[in-house]
Structure 1
Amino acid sequence: MLLGSGLSVFAQPKASFDKTMHEFGTILWKNPVTATFKITNKGDKPLVISNVTTSCGCTVTDWTKSPILPGKTGEVSSTFDAKALGRFRKSIGVYCNASDKPVYLSFRGEVTADPKNYTFTHPYQIGAIRLNKEEIEFDDANMGDKPTIELLIANTSDRVYTPVLMHLPPYLSAVATPDKLGRNRTGKIKVTLDTEKLPKLGLTTASVYLSRFPGDKVGEENEIPVSAVLLPDFSRISQQERLNPPAIHLSAKELVMGELADDEKRSQTIIVKNVGKSNLEIRDLQVFNSALGVQLKKRVLKPGATTKMKITAYGHNLRRVKGSPRVLMITNDSNSPKIIINVKVTSKK
C-alpha cells in the first residue's frame, strides 16, 4: 500500500512547450496569421488543457481538446486578425492540470499596409513567385500525427498563376488556396505530413519543386528542401526507466566555421557525455544536406562516459545545396530525444 501511494504521488503530467515566443516579422494588413505552439507531456499522467485565454479580442485560440498521453504532443494555436497597422505583441494563457498557474505564451510582429511589397513577408523568390519559406520542416513529429505547414506565396508576375508543388513523396500531400492567383495576389499551399508513411525513425529528407508556369520542369532554381523528424515513442517505458533515465550533454550545439572556398573543408569536434543514470543510445545521426559530414566514435555510452563527434563542412557542396547546414541526433533520452546542431558556414565568394 505504501509503495502504491508513493507511485501515485510521483505520477503527474508535465507540460513542455517548444517555445514561449513566436516571431511573425512583418505581415500584411487584413491577412490573419496563426502562431502554433507544440506542447509535449513529459510526465506520467495524461495532460489536459482546460482553457486558453487571450489578452485581447483580436485573437482566436484553439488547442488539443483530448488528453495528451505521456510522451505525446499536442498543440495550442492563436490566430491574429492583423486589422491594426503597426507593431503588436499579444499573449495567451494556457490552463492545464500540470500547474496551478497558467503558462503564458506570446507572439509579436508588425502589420504593414503595402500590398505590393512582399520583400519582408515573402523574402524568398522562385521566378516571379515569392515565398515565406525556403525550406519545409516538420520537427518533432510523432507516429500517427498528421501535422501541416502553410507555405505562403505571392504572385508578382503579370499573369494568373496556378500554385503547384511537384514531385511530392508518398508521405506528403499539398492543397493550394486559392487554386489560382491573380497579379499581386497572395495565397498559400497547405502541406500535410502523414507520419505513418515515413520510412523510418529520425530524419527523412526529400525535395519538392514549385511550378512557376504550366509545363515547368524541376531543377535547382525551383527546388524546396523538405525534412521530417520522427521522434521515438516513450509512452511505454517502465517506471524504473523513468526514474533512472540517460541524459545527454554536448560541449556545443552550434559550430562557427566561417567561409570556405570550393576546394576547402573544415572540421570541428564536439564532446558527447552521458550525465544520466542508464545507458545513452544514439539511435540516429544524420545531416540535413551534403554540405556536412559527421563521424561518431561510440553510439552507446554508459553513465559518465564520453565520446567525440567530428563534424566536417565541405566547400564544394555549399554552393549546390539549399537549406541550413545542421546535424540531427535521435537519442533514448526522453528529455532530449532530438538534438539539432547548427553549423554556421558559408561559401566564399
Structure 2
Amino acid sequence: MSKKHILTFLATTFAALVTYAQPKAVFSSEELNMGILQWKRYIGTSFTVTNLGNQPLTITRVDPDCECTVVEWPTHPIAPGQSELIQVTYNARQLGTFSRAIGIVTDEPSDSIHYVWLNGTVSTKMPLDTVRYANQIGHTRLDNEVLEFDDVNPNDKQQRVINLYNAGNEAVTPGLMHLPRYLTAAAIPQRLRPGEYGQIIVTLNGHELRQKGLTQTSVYLSQQPGDRVSSENEISVSAILLPDFETQPANLAANPPVLSISTQKLELEYPAPNKKAKGQVVITNTGRSPLKIQSLQVMHPCISAEISRATLKPGQSTKLKITVDARFLKSAKSRRRILITTNDATHPKAFIDVTLVRSTPKK
C-alpha cells in the first residue's frame, strides 16, 4: 500500500472514530406548558438533560431570550448515560400569553445548540380549583399529600411538585421538615401572601438511596417558623430504586424470566370496620429462566402479604396471600399497594393496588 493510501486510510479511520466517540444531549421535553400563572409571581419548573453519547457532555452556555427567565444548569461534565436537572424560574411580570425560548449550547461536534420553549398565560384572576387543591393543612391548600418516585435509577435526579394556595388571612412561609438526605426542597415564592399560589419543588437524588426496591418516609409541611411535626401536616413520600440489569449474564438476557400476575387490581370485601379482608393473587413465570422475587413490600400499614416461594422455575406459579386489616385504614396517607421487584429486566417492578368495599349484609 502506498504512503498516500496509508495516510488516506488513517485519516478516514480517525474521522470515523471522532464521529463515533462524541456526546449527545437529549432533553426530557422541548416544550414546557406552565399553564395559567399568577401575575407578578415567580414560578419554577424543570427538565432533564441526558447524555446518550459515549463521551462526557458539557453545557457551555445557556441563553434565555428574556431576562424574565432564570436558568440553573450543571456546569460539570455529564458522564455517558447520566442525567442532570435544569431548573427554570419564570418571572410572570407581563399579562397575557407568553412563549419564551431557552437556548442551550453544548460541546457536541454537531447540533450543539438546542432550544426548549416555555409556554403559558399570565393572569390576575386565579380562581381556586377546589377539586385540584382538595387537601388542606392549616390554612394552606395542596394539590397533593403523597409524593411517589416510582422509577429511580442510581444516577437519577427526579423532581415532584406540590402546588400550594394560601387560603388564610396571614402570609405563610412554606417549607418541608424532616427531609432525609436523599431529598431536598425549595419553596417558590418563599413567602406566600393570602390568596396567592406557590410551589414546593422536591428533588430526589437516586445516588443517596441506600437500598433497592421501596424506601418510604414522611416529611412535614411547615407554614410558620416553629411549626411542629404531627400527623396533620404529614406528607407521605415513597421512592423505588430499580435493580441494575447491565451486568446480567448473556444467557439470562437471551432467555429472560417473565413476570405474569393474575390481577394488579385486587378488590376485597370486608364485613365491618374492625374486621380483616383476605384475598390472593397468582404469580407465574412465563419466561425461560428462573424468576426471582427479590422483594415483596407493602406501601400501607393496613396491608400484610406473604408468598410461599421466592424463586419460580419456567412455567411455575405461586400464590401471594394478602390480608387487609380495616382498623388501620386511616393510619397513613400512602396508597394501598404492594410492590414486587424481580429479575425480569422488562418488568423489574409491579404494583398490586388493593381496594376495599363494604360487603352487603345477608338478609
Q: So what's the TM-score if we normalise by structure 1?
A: 0.70
Q: 2:163 aligns with which of 152, 155, 159?
A: 152
Which residue is 2:298 aligned to? 287
Q: Provide the rounded CA distance (Å) in 2 between the counterparts of 1:27 and 1:120.
A: 16
Superposed displacement of residue 121, structure 1: 3.5
Q: 1:315–1:347: 8 Å Cα contact kept in structure 2?
A: no
**Code of the aligned partner of 2:262:** S
Residue 259 to residue 127, structure 1, CA distance change in 2 (3 Å): farther
Which residue is 2:12 aligned to? none
Q: Provide the rounded CA distance (Å) in 2 between the counterparts of 1:216 and 1:230.
A: 32
Superposed displacement of residue 343, structure 1: 0.8
Which residue is 1:208 aligned to? 219
**Code of the aligned partner of 2:176:** L
Q: 1:271–1:309: 8 Å Cα contact kept in structure 2?
A: yes
How is 1:2-81 mapped onto 2 (pairs within 5 angstroms)?
A: 69=81
Which residue is 2:356 aligned to? 345
| 1:172 equivalent in alignment to 2:219 | no
Which residue is 1:182 aligned to? 193
Q: 2:83–2:155: 8 Å Cα contact kept in structure 1?
A: no
Q: 2:270–2:277: 8 Å Cα contact kept in structure 1?
A: no
Q: Provide the rounded CA distance (Å) in 2 between the counterparts of 1:171 and 1:212.
A: 22
Q: Provide the rounded CA distance (Å) in 1 between the counterparts of 2:83 and 2:353.
A: 24
List alignment gaps of at least 5 residues for structure 1.
1-23, 47-65, 85-110
Which residue is 1:221 aligned to? 232
**Code of the aligned partner of 2:156:** D
Larger radius of gyration: 2
Which residue is 2:266 aligned to? 255
The count of residues paired between Structure 1 and Structure 2 equals 290
Residue 216 to residue 83, structure 1, CA distance change in 2 (3 Å): same
Q: Provide the rounded CA distance (Å) in 2 between the counterparts of 1:134 and 1:83.
A: 31
Q: 1:318–1:346: 8 Å Cα contact kept in structure 2?
A: no
Q: Provide the rounded CA distance (Å) in 2 between the counterparts of 1:245 and 1:74.
A: 31
Q: Provide the rounded CA distance (Å) in 1 between the counterparts of 2:261 and 2:48.
A: 26
C-alpha distance after superposition, 1:177-200 (max 9, x if no partner) = 111111111111111112222221
Q: 2:48–2:85: 8 Å Cα contact kept in structure 1?
A: yes
Which residue is 1:241 aligned to? 252
Q: 2:311 aligns with which of 297, 300, 318?
A: 300
Which residue is 1:136 aligned to? 147
Superposed displacement of residue 27, structure 1: 6.1
Q: 1:139–1:228: 8 Å Cα contact kept in structure 2?
A: yes
Alignment RMSD (CA, Å): 4.2
Q: Provide the rounded CA distance (Å) in 1 between the counterparts of 2:181 and 2:162.
A: 19
Q: Provide the rounded CA distance (Å) in 1 between the counterparts of 2:155 and 2:310.
A: 27
| 1:316 equivalent in alignment to 2:327 | yes
Superposed displacement of residue 295, structure 1: 0.6
Residue 304 to residue 345, structure 1, CA distance change in 2 (3 Å): same
Q: 1:331 aligns with which of 334, 338, 342?
A: 342
List alignment gaps of at least 5 residues for structure 2.
1-32, 55-77, 98-121
C-alpha distance after superposition, 1:297-337 (max 9, x if no partner) = 11110111100001111100002221210000111000100
Superposed displacement of residue 123, structure 1: 2.1
Q: Provide the rounded CA distance (Å) in 2 between the counterparts of 1:260 and 1:114.
A: 48
**Code of the aligned partner of 1:209:** Y
Q: Provide the rounded CA distance (Å) in 1 between the counterparts of 2:195 and 2:328.
A: 35
Which residue is 1:101 aligned to? none
Superposed displacement of residue 68, structure 1: 7.3
Residue 29 to residue 314, structure 1, CA distance change in 2 (3 Å): same
Identity %: 36
Superposed displacement of residue 74, structure 1: 9.3
Q: Provide the rounded CA distance (Å) in 2 between the counterparts of 1:259 and 1:135.
A: 25
Q: Provide the rounded CA distance (Å) in 2 between the counterparts of 1:35 and 1:268.
A: 42
